[in-house]
Structure 1
Amino acid sequence: MKRLGVSIYPEKSMMEEDKQYLKMAKAYGFDRVFTCLLSASKSKEELMREFTEIITFAKALHMEVILDVSPAVFDKLSISYDDLGFFHELGADGIRLDLGFDGLKEAKMTNNPYGLKIELNMSNDVDYLSNILTHQGNKDYIIGCHNFYPQKYTGLPYDFFIECSKRFKKYGIRTAAFITSSVGQIGPWDINDGLCTLEQHRNLPINIQAKHLWATGLIDDIIIGNAYASEAELRILGELNRDILELEIELEPDASELEVNIALNETHIRRGDITEYMIRSVDVRKKYADHSVEEKQSVSQTTGDIFIGNNHFGKYKGELQVVLKDMPEDKRKNKIAKVVADEHFLIEYIKPWSAFKLVNVK
């Protein structure tokens, strides 16, 4: 099951505001919490008190809590790699290792007696995970999560992100990555240009960031890196279809009730023997074979446009097509909508036999 998460930074925020944020996130279907000890400057006792309170609150909401740590945190708090009891006492479900060790230490951590999950940093294209498993790390207690990047232009490039993610997915490890709120101002550091994993996401609407990560097929959990996301952002993420890619479209003013019904109320399947010019949803033409699709004025076919075959298209009447490459006009087809510009790049994730849905832009 794909999950959504939020981040909180207790040393940078007010406890009651954190609690209200977690309650709101849970109400919109969020199930996990990322929080950070990397920037912790208080004493071990103060950290224990603050983090225990907020983690206990999150756990009462049935949210999983992962703490971000590094070798410096272990040193500052005098924690042994062989005894993770401190994190267990805080109530955490696991710890994220921002920096790696030698493979053996991580493997030992995965066999901790507290059942803590060990989340590995995925944002390095090295054989890190394989090394840990070679040292007999317990795969059942290993999960992975990418970094976020507070400084603009420092996020991961897409191809590198894909290669890093594949290293974890091939072992069946649960994966996570970060997206950024357009309004959140709180993070672990003073610089906060957004807290996303992929640089290309930094200025995109938050729902498109999430759709993209899930569309790759390589990311299970999506976490908002900065706090606090707006209620509108939480709501739109909570409403996303986590299993089927949904493209937002703008309907043409003259789209008929039948055409709107075909577009919005069906789950479309891309034909398996593909063409480079269009995505063809052919099952719908069988369902609507006895319906009349009146011809409209023909227009040229532009990338991202959506057409439906009209009465002059013979057996192809009712077939829905998403244009991939510009084509000349065809009077046998009616233009009924277009994919919103920001989501054009998502069309390429509709593979042969992929299911997808179309939703009217809100």
Structure 2
Amino acid sequence: MCYGISIYLSESDTFNKNWMEKAAVSGFQYIFTSLHIPEERDVDYVKQVKWLGKTAQEFHMEVMADVSPASLERLGLSFNELPSITEWGISGIRMDYGFTAKQIAWLSHHLKIGLNASTIDEEQLKKLMDEGLQPHQTEAWHNFYPKPFTGISKQYLYERNALFHRYGIQTMAFIQGDEQLRGPLHVGLPTIENHRHVSPTLAALELQEMNTDKICVGDLNLTNKTLQELKFVMEGTVPLYADFNKGYEIFDNMVHTNRMDAAEYVIRSVESRQLPSKFQPEAHELDVFNEGTITVENELYGRYAGELQICLGDIPADTKTNVAGRIKQESLSLMKKVGSGKRFVLLHSKVK
């Protein structure tokens, strides 16, 4: 799984460099930029693209640039000269419209190529393959959708991903940001419409579930909190914010693994029963442990003593079980992504 950010050349060099640095430190590996955005006027594209390529190399990040025939005019390049763009620090080209199958296939022998994953059909894909398209040099990039209610569905993205994977081509999709949203509408830049109003972390986890190979932030940047969360996600761990009761702080910032034989009603920590700490029974007057309740089995539970669980729904309370805390409301949706064998971490303190 590979993560990237979007850089818009109309933003200041200082803003863009700071965002690249923060993203690189957090584990992001590539940059997407577009060279044919209508709102971007008075941009010296040659100067800015060369600056972007050089700066990205400083942070060991690849750059994929979205181009059209009109973009080539702005760059002062003919189509046959496009491979020379690697000398500017650009790793590949996403070819949106106006190019023939023969041109795209030819260029894939010289550059990394991005196809439009949301619009190309299988007949067109077969034609590209017949023309000599190099799958290992090709990626399929979904669009982002600035206008509300125009994004694609989860099912459509899943089906499109499956199509390209059959031809050995990796896929990419966008998640929205959560600090500075890009204009002119400022309502997020996701690929999937239903991701427009969820956290970027949940959107990323769902794109992973749909077998998306690369995930890119469409908007201008992310909060430090979300960067921390996505860093966990890149490592294969679901971050969950929690409030702990006194005496259970031992579980703060501890990485757990849900059992491979995942239970229907609870998440069961593999690691918790290996801890030396044992817990005495604690009186409570609960009849039900609600969704999101964090429990720990006390000494009355014998061989299960010390096991930490998180309730996925309401279950009957038990005197052999202590209440260790609860998952915060904001993390209940992320909790549902802790599947079989999945790692998760309980975080008490937020990053500002």
TM-score where L is the length of structure 1 = 0.81
Shift, 1:95, TM fit:
0.7
Instruction: Please name the residue that 1:181 is paired with.
Output: 177
Conserved? CA contact 1:178–1:197, under 8 Å: yes
**Larger deviation: 128-137 or 147-156?**
128-137
1:312 counterpart SS class: helix
Work out whether 1:162 is the aligned partner of 2:149: no
Work out whether 1:117 is the aligned partner of 2:109: no
Deviation string for 1:224-245 (max 9, x for gaps)? 2122x25625743564341323
Conserved? CA contact 1:183–1:230, under 8 Å: yes
From 263, 275, 293, the equivalent of 1:305 is 293
Using the alignment, how far apart are the partners of 2:322 and 2:99 within structure 1?
A: 60
Instruction: Please name the residue that 2:254 is paired with.
Output: 265
1:18 counterpart SS class: helix
Residues 108/43 of structure 1: CA separation in 2 closer, same or farther (3 Å cut)? farther
Residues 123/75 of structure 1: CA separation in 2 closer, same or farther (3 Å cut)? same
Work out whether 1:33 is the aligned partner of 2:36: no
Instruction: Please name the residue that 1:9 is paired with.
Output: 8
Residues 243/135 of structure 1: CA separation in 2 closer, same or farther (3 Å cut)? farther
RMSD: 3.3
2:232 counterpart SS class: coil
Conserved? CA contact 1:247–1:339, under 8 Å: no
Deviation string for 1:255-300 (max 9, x for gaps)? x23xx4357424223242x442223334532x14772343341531
From 281, 285, 292, the equivalent of 2:279 is 292
**Larger deviation: 261-270 or 89-98?**
261-270
Instruction: Please name the residue that 2:65 is paired with.
Output: 67
Instruction: Please name the residue that 2:241 is paired with.
Output: 249
Structure 2: segments with no counterpart, 5+ residues:
none
Conserved? CA contact 1:8–1:34, under 8 Å: yes
Instruction: Please name the residue that 2:93 is paired with.
Output: 95
Using the alignment, how far apart are the partners of 1:43 and 1:173 within structure 2?
A: 36
Instruction: Please name the residue that 1:201 is paired with.
Output: 195
Structure 1: segments with no counterpart, 5+ residues:
none
Residues 90/247 of structure 1: CA separation in 2 closer, same or farther (3 Å cut)? closer
Residues 96/302 of structure 1: CA separation in 2 closer, same or farther (3 Å cut)? same
Letter matched to residue 320 of structure 1: L
Letter matched to residue 356 of structure 1: F
Conserved? CA contact 2:295–2:322, under 8 Å: yes
Residues 133/306 of structure 1: CA separation in 2 closer, same or farther (3 Å cut)? farther
Work out whether 1:330 is the aligned partner of 2:318: yes
Instruction: Please name the residue that 1:23 is paired with.
Output: 21
- Aligned identity (percent) is 27
Aligned length: 347
From 205, 209, 219, the equivalent of 2:212 is 219
Conserved? CA contact 1:298–1:330, under 8 Å: no
Shift, 1:58, TM fit:
2.1
Deviation string for 1:50-104 (max 9, x for gaps)? 3222322222332211111235545777865554246345431101123486644
Work out whether 1:145 is the aligned partner of 2:141: yes
Residues 172/265 of structure 1: CA separation in 2 closer, same or farther (3 Å cut)? farther
Letter matched to residue 332 of structure 2: H
Using the alignment, how far apart are the partners of 1:4 and 1:219 within structure 2?
A: 11
Deviation string for 1:171-197 (max 9, x for gaps)? 55443322222332445xx33321122
Instruction: Please name the residue that 2:327 is paired with.
Output: 339
Instruction: Please name the residue that 1:315 is paired with.
Output: 303
Residues 47/359 of structure 1: CA separation in 2 closer, same or farther (3 Å cut)? same
Using the alignment, how far apart are the partners of 2:145 and 2:192 within structure 1?
A: 8
Residues 167/332 of structure 1: CA separation in 2 closer, same or farther (3 Å cut)? farther
2:300 counterpart SS class: helix
Deviation string for 1:196-244 (max 9, x for gaps)? 2222322333344334434x262343322122x2562574356434132
Shift, 1:313, TM fit:
1.8
Letter matched to residue 157 of structure 2: F
From 336, 340, 343, the equivalent of 1:352 is 340
Letter matched to residue 212 of structure 2: I
Shift, 1:117, TM fit:
0.7
Using the alignment, how far apart are the partners of 1:290 and 1:232 within structure 2?
A: 33
Residues 277/185 of structure 1: CA separation in 2 closer, same or farther (3 Å cut)? closer
2:115 counterpart SS class: strand
2:234 counterpart SS class: coil
Shift, 1:14, TM fit:
2.7
Using the alignment, how far apart are the partners of 2:58 and 2:275 within structure 1?
A: 50
Conserved? CA contact 2:46–2:75, under 8 Å: no
